[in-house]
Amino acid sequence: MDESEQLFYQGVPFTGEAVELQRGAVVSLNTYKEGVEDGPIRQWYVDGVLRSEGVMRDGFPVGEFRKWHHNGVLAARTIMSEDGLHQLTIFEWDESGELTKEWHAGQR
One digit per residue, the tens of pLDDT, for the chain of length 108 reads 666 789 999 999 999 999 999 999 999 999 999 999 999 999 999 999 999 999 999 999 999 999 999 999 999 999 999 999 999 999 999 999 999 999 999 876
pLDDT of residue 62: 98
Distance separating alpha carbons of residues 13 and 96, to the nearest angstrom: 42
Global pTM value: 0.88
Distance separating alpha carbons of residues 108 and 96, to the nearest angstrom: 27
CA dihedral 16, 65, 47, 38 (to 10 degrees): 10
Do residues 70 and 52 make contact, with C-beta atoms less than 8 angstroms apart? no
pLDDT of residue 4: 74
Distance separating alpha carbons of residues 37 and 46, to the nearest angstrom: 22
pLDDT of residue 1: 62
**How many helices (H) does the chain have, and how many strands (E)?**
0, 10
* Domain covering 3-104 in this structure, CATH number: 2.20.110
